[in-house]
Amino acid sequence: SQQGEEDPQALSIQEGENATMNCSYKTSINNLQWYRQNSGRGLVHLILIRSNEREKHSGRLRVTLDTSKKSSSLLITASRAADTASYFCALYGSGNTGKLIFGQGTTLQVKP
Amino acid sequence: DAMVIQNPRYQVTQFGKPVTLSCSQTLNHNVMYWYQQKSSQAPKLLFHYYDKDFNNEADTPDNFQSRRPNTSFCFLDIRSPGLGDAAMYLCATSRYPRGQGAHEQYFGPGTRLTVT
């Protein structure tokens, strides 16, 4: 399957703690993207990391990519209740199709 | 603000009664996508337009059709909705110069479809 597999499926933490979500995949990729989805809403793009990059930061977000292990992780530091959402990794394959394949997502609950 | 707009936000239709969902964008992006998302699942790509070129996913049922009359608008037509078509339908856009890899996608808020 080209779909990313996310781990864990659900994560519950206290406000202020860090949250780490992982995405593993099997195909070669051009880039990997992370999205957030609040309940009942559309997805919001967080970070895009290209296959030749190893780490990217955006505010409290840190994404790593290990193409040798075919895995990526999303770290949210100092989490807030507002970070409660589902987080999806999405793969853009090397086939240049313009399509993203989304993983099943990790549901994050941050308790105040 | 530039954005992706979906109307209506909530749509109730009867079993077998055709329904059309609409999407518009002010981003001037050349690619528009339609996704179906069922509860607690990943968004599933139904089809996308690269400019005027229509690209259908192999497993998208024939019951689902799409139209893109111009750059800004895209429609999803469900010809005979079944109970299994109840879902959130998401429209997204992207700027995608051929050969340069996919850029990020910008999503609308979605239309929640209920089939009675």
pLDDT (tens digit per residue) in A33-80? 999 999 989 999 999 999 999 999 999 999 999 999 999 999 999 999
* Rounded-to-integer distance, Cα B74 and Cα A110, Å: 36
- B100 or A62: which leads in pLDDT: A62
Closest CA–CA distance from residue B114 to any residue of chain A (Å): 14
Tell me how many degrees the CA angle B28-B32-B38 measures, rounded to the nearest 5.
Answer: 140
- C-alpha R_g of chain B: 14
Structure confidence at residue B37 (pLDDT): 96
Is B26 contained in some domain? yes
Is residue B104 included in any domain, yes or no?
yes
Q: Decide: A16 and A3 in contact? Cβ < 8 Å.
A: no
Strands B111-115 and B10-13: parallel
Determine, yes or no, domain membership for B116: no
Is B107 in contact with A104 (Cβ distance < 8 A)? no
Question: What is the mean predicted confidence (pLDDT) over B45-62?
Answer: 93
Cross-strand partners of B66: B76
Q: What is the mean pLDDT of residues A3-27?
A: 94
Token pair in block for residue B102: 């996919």
Q: Which residues contact B80 (CB under 8 A, 6 or more apart)?
A: B16, B17, B18, B63
Mean pLDDT of the residues in chain B: 92
Question: Which one-letter amino acid corresponds to residue A111?
Answer: K
Domain boundaries, chain A: 5-111
Cβ of B96 within 8 Å of Cβ of A98? The answer is yes
pLDDT at A18: 98
Size (chain B), residues = 116
Tally of CA atoms within 13 A in the half-sphere of B17 that contains its CB: 9
Residue A3: predicted pLDDT: 79
CATH number, domain containing residue B22: 2.60.40.10
pLDDT score at B95: 87
Compute how many other C-beta atoms are within 10 angstroms of the C-beta atom of residue A48: 20
Range of the domain at B98: 4-109
Compute φ and ψ for B85, nearest 5 degrees.
Answer: -90, -5
Residue A40's CB is within 10 A of a number of other CB atoms, namely: 10
pLDDT reading at A95 higher than 70: no
Specify the pLDDT at position B47.
Answer: 93
Give φ, ψ of A38 to 5 degrees. -80, 155
**How distant, in Å, are the alpha carbons of A30, A58, B77 from that of B22?**
31, 33, 9
Which chain B residue shows the shortest CA-CA distance from A46? Answer: B104
Specify the pLDDT at position A78: 97
CATH of A5-111, one of 3.40.50.2300, 2.60.40.10, 3.40.50.720, 3.40.50.970: 2.60.40.10
**Looking at the complex, does the CB of residue B48 fall below 8 Å from at least one CB of chain A?**
yes
Question: Is residue B115 assigned to a domain?
Answer: no
Among chain B residues, the shortest Cα distance to A95 is held by B101
Cβ pairs bridging A and B (under 8 Å): 63
Helix ranges restricted to H, A45-99 = none
Number of domains in chain B: 1
Q: Check whether B110 has a pLDDT greater than 80.
A: yes
Among residues A92, A90, A93, A94, the alpha carbon closest in space to that of A106 is found at A90
The reply to whether B114 falls in a domain is no
| Band of residue B40 on the pLDDT scale cut at 50, 70, 90 | confident
Q: Are B94 and B31 in contact (CB under 8 A)?
A: yes
